[in-house]
Amino acid sequence: MIPLPGAEASFHRPLQPQDMESTPKIFAASCTMPLAEKIAQEFGTTLGRVELSRFSDGEFQPCFEETVRGKHVYLVCSTTPPSDNLMELLLMIDCAKRASASKIIAVMPYFGWARQDRKDKPRVPIGAKMVAKMLETAGATRIVTMDLHADQIQGFFEIPVDHLYASSIFVEYIKQLQKDGSIQNLAIASPDMGGSKRAYSYAKYFGSDVVICYKQRKKANVIESMTLIGDVEGKDVILLDDMADTAGTLTKACNIMVDRGARSVRAMVTHPILSGNAYQRIEESKITELITTDSIALKNSSDKIKVLSCAPLMAEAIRMIEDNASISANYVF
């Protein structure tokens, strides 16, 4: 076959910069839209357009309203209950895969189902493992998440996981409280034995004392007893945890510490699930302040709740991924 004049040049011309366009595309699931807009703004771009069609029976279908062929696609979605949020993320991943995206990165500020990280009794699922496999099967090539409930969840994936830490957000806020005199005699506390590692990391950084709460549960979200290990009298206590669900543990621990003579008690939790009567418990408790992030949108407002945005942290992670740079170098500890 003889090519037409000039055809060979057009078929074999050198690649131009516009052919190698690598600007990432950031899309958001409906439950994480406000946070995703902040992340895109911090990154220096705008959110991609997604249309979510719904059928009368509750079924829904996402559709990208712009091309993603050959692009790095970042899908921002916290998989909070109900399971519709997880399903929406899975469908968006499949949508990007079938639209020929070169890489599909699930940005999950809050990784739901993470409390099911092991068999703690017979005949129960390991939900976190199942969710990990679902994300991989759908087509995700990388995961970005923050403050997993259990670090070993990273090992449930066969794809890279960038595990971010909210410590870089909270540490700066603690420094500000110390600077303005709100905190004078700092003590770091953990609401349970499982969070002691996190508490010791903060305590080592600030050179402060550590207090541990030992709790026993009757069942999920129900505390049978709690014992305080350590001295809090005259201290400005900061209680650290990865999430607050019903806020039962958090408020009970704060009340005990105030009764034991603590000067003030603040709680710092990364993920504000705050279900059931959590807001009422916080309002009625002796807690000075609850500091959290916007990994999950608040359902209600409260004068006792201070929200710090994790958007700069997420945007910086995306930037580091695009530049093939180290993410861990940005962490305080």
Residue 30 burial by Cβ neighbours in a 10 Å radius (0-12, 13-18, 19+):
middle
Catalytic residue among 25, 71, 215, 235: 215
Q: Sign of dihedral through CA atoms 88, 89, 90, 96?
A: positive
Convert 248-275 to b/e letters by CB count within 10 Å (16 or more is b): bbbbbbbbbbbebebbbbbbbbbbbbbe
Per-residue CA distances from 272 to 173, 245, 291, 319 (Å): 17, 7, 9, 26
Taking alpha carbons only, the member of 51, 96, 55 closest to residue 75 is 96
Catalytic residue list contains 215: yes
Two structure tokens written together for 301:
């407002």
* Distance from C-alpha of 159 to C-alpha of 139, rounded to nearest angstrom: 10
Residues assigned a catalytic role? 215
